[in-house]
Amino acid sequence: MAARNENSAVLLAWSKMVPISQAQDPLGLTLRVTARMSAELLHCITSITPRARYFSFLPWCVSDFGKREKASRADADLIEAFRLREKALTLGCVLHHDGDACRDGRLVGSDKAMQWAAANPGKTPKFSALSFVKNPALFAYYNSLVHLGFFNETPEGNGSDQVETEEEAELRISDLELSELGKRVAASYEAAVGALPVVAKLTKEPDGCRPQELKKWGELGGVCEVATAGSPDRALLREVFFNRVGSPGLSHKFRHDSLTLLLELIDRIEPRGISFDHSVLGGAVYFGAAAAGDNGTEVVRLRIPAQLEDIANRW
């Protein structure tokens, strides 16, 4: 609104700032722009799907279910198979880390698994009656797995890129079939844990998996361990995330270029002792420079290669 002073000059009188949470956005522009940029730059990886090991572990669950349960039991349930294996992995990781969660990101259900481990030291869990979380991690990672091309076809009812609720996801997931890429990823995780006796015991005797057996699962197939050079699924997951395996979706190029840009910048600043964070990224893409030195007074020039100028401008 405007007000007039005694000299008839028009002045602006601003109202009190309204918190963004109370502002009206009837067209949903803020959400849509943010969601679309995220989809382009981080296709198939969202704020709730950051743990790389799940991208090999979950396809492996489908494969292992088909081998151990589906072929022998007509009433075998895929969702329950996911729940059982996820409980074993989560508790195994907690036991491997001596009662704590994984260092580089908690698995779904870690908090309750930690509570159980603290209250039951040395005891064998009864997985048939034990629950760490209401919904398995599959429900959070489901759309990411679909869009990465890990299944032969999208299950009925999933015809869009929109994120569905966990309840909707459970209604759609009934009989997933791995694509050739999904089989490759599953086999890579099988190479990490398939020889463990506890893997075979879990489906036959879910209440008989001893803590030391589960701890070994966490040691070889946990979230943190995918970062080690000896992890058999590490190389393939890297190829998937950099879109070197023919995954569907035009947005993969944006993600590939984004990751390449980040690695290029890290390679340039590492010798100068600069820690990479959002401010360094901002300075690099906006000004082509980063601050260095004890007080940040030294300017390090970071010329963006011509091949990465497009993605740098997008950031």
Contacts of 296 (CB under 8 A, 6+ apart): none
Task: Select from 278, 275, 289, 274 the least CA-distant residue to 315.
Answer: 278
Q: Residue 78 in contact with residue 59, Cβ under 8 Å?
A: no
Three-state SS letters, 204-261: HCCCCCCHHHHHHHHHHHCCHHHHCCCCCCHHHHHHHHCCCCCCCCCCHHHHHHHHHH
Q: pLDDT at position 13, please?
A: 54
Rounded distance, CA 292 to CA 298, Å? Answer: 5
Residues 177-202 have pLDDT tens digits of: 899 999 999 999 999 999 999 999 99
Q: Which residues of 37-72 are buried (b: 16+ CB within 10 A; e: fewer)?
A: eebbbbbbbbeebebbbbbbbbbbbbbbbbebbbee
Which backbone phi and psi does 126 adopt, to 5 degrees? -100, 90
Residue 298: beta bridge partners? 292
Q: 148 or 162: whose pLDDT is higher?
A: 148
Which pLDDT belongs to residue 1? Answer: 47
**Percentage with pLDDT > 90 across the chain:** 40
Query: pLDDT digit string (tens) for 93-106?
Result: 999 999 998 876 77
Between the alpha carbon of residue 268 and those of residues 128, 271, 284, the distances in Å are 52, 7, 11
Rounded Cα distance between 136 and 166, Å, is: 9
% of the chain with per-residue pLDDT over 70: 76
Spatial CA neighbour of 203 closest among 128, 129, 105: 128
Spatial CA neighbour of 240 closest among 252, 227, 222? 252
Quote the CA–CA distance of 197 and 209 in Å, as a whole number.
9
Q: Taking 60 as the threshold, does the pLDDT of residue 167 lie above it?
A: no
Q: What is the pLDDT of residue 275?
A: 84
When pLDDT is cut at 50, 70 and 90, the band that residue 33 belongs to is low
Structure tokens at 9: 């000059």
* Core vs surface per residue 135-155: b (16+ CB within 10 A) or e: bbbbbbbbbbbbbbbbbeeeb
> What's the mean per-residue pLDDT of the chain?
81
Q: What is the pLDDT, as a whole number, of residue 196?
A: 96
Q: Express each pLDDT in 207-257 by its tens digit.
A: 999 999 999 999 999 988 898 888 999 999 999 887 788 776 556 777 778
Q: Tens digit of pLDDT for each residue in 255-269? A: 778 888 989 999 988
Distances (CA, A) of 35 to 19, 41, 117, 211, 246: 21, 10, 38, 42, 24
Give the DSSP H or E segment for 46.
none
Half-sphere exposure (CA, 13 Å, Cβ side) for 297? 2
Note the pLDDT tens digit of each residue in 101-122: 887 677 899 999 999 999 999 9
Mean pLDDT of 151-158: 58
Looking at residue 205, what is its pLDDT? 94
Q: Which residues are CB-contacts of 242 (< 8 A; sequence separation ≥ 6)?
A: 256, 259, 260
